[in-house]
A = this chain, B = another copy of it.
Amino acid sequence: MKKAALELEAKSGPVAVGDKTLRAFHGYQMKRTFNVIQSDLSRTLKPFDLRMLTYSALVLIVDNPGLRQSQLAEAMDIERPNLVLIVDELERRDLIIRDRLPNDRRAYALKVTLAGRQLYQKTIAAVKAHEEMLLEGIGDDALATAMDVMRRIEKNHRRVG
């Protein structure tokens, strides 16, 4: 069964849920929205045999060649141990390589391979279409404001954390 057409009143505004009026709390809409983005992006990436995490890693390595694993983990906001299997998978598929740094033999410089760059190029149109579909009807100004709000929330946390 697909989602019914109900509305629930939330402190952050109405959230469509069923055929009742419910009330929720802030932070809750963010979760729902992220779930939507995550599941839709996963479906989009499936034909390329990529997940959101492996795709994120690939994009960051493509755009930032020579990145260390610890830097990539920080960029992806995950712990270093959790990145190992992600990099393993990309390397096993010959999409990236781990290149020892000559001046610091503890670390790796992560670099995309030709195959990795080609796969990345193939995903671009699909990911763009995915985002355009989800963002349809949303003005550029509203989207920019929403992204600003999210970055501000992230910074507010860091100030404490």
Contact = CB atoms under 8 A, between A and B. Distances in A.
Interface in A20-37: 20-37
A84 interface: no
A35 to B, nearest CB: 6
A60 B138 contact: no
Contact of A135 (B3, B145, B156): B156
Contacts of A56: 24-25, 28
A142 to B, nearest CB: 5
Contacts of A59: 23-25
A16 interface: yes
Nearest to A38: B31
Tallying the copies of this chain within the complex gives 2
A158 B8 contact: no
Interface stretch (A86-94, A95-103, A111-119, A147-155): A147-155
> Which size class do A's interface residues fall under?
35 or more
A144 B18 CA distance: 23
A144 to B, nearest CB: 8
A158 B23 CA distance: 20
Contacts of A156: 133-137
Contact of A154 (B36, B60, B142): B36
Contacts of A138: 149, 152-153
B37 A30 contact: yes
Given A27-B41, A31-B34, A34-B30, A134 B157 contact: yes
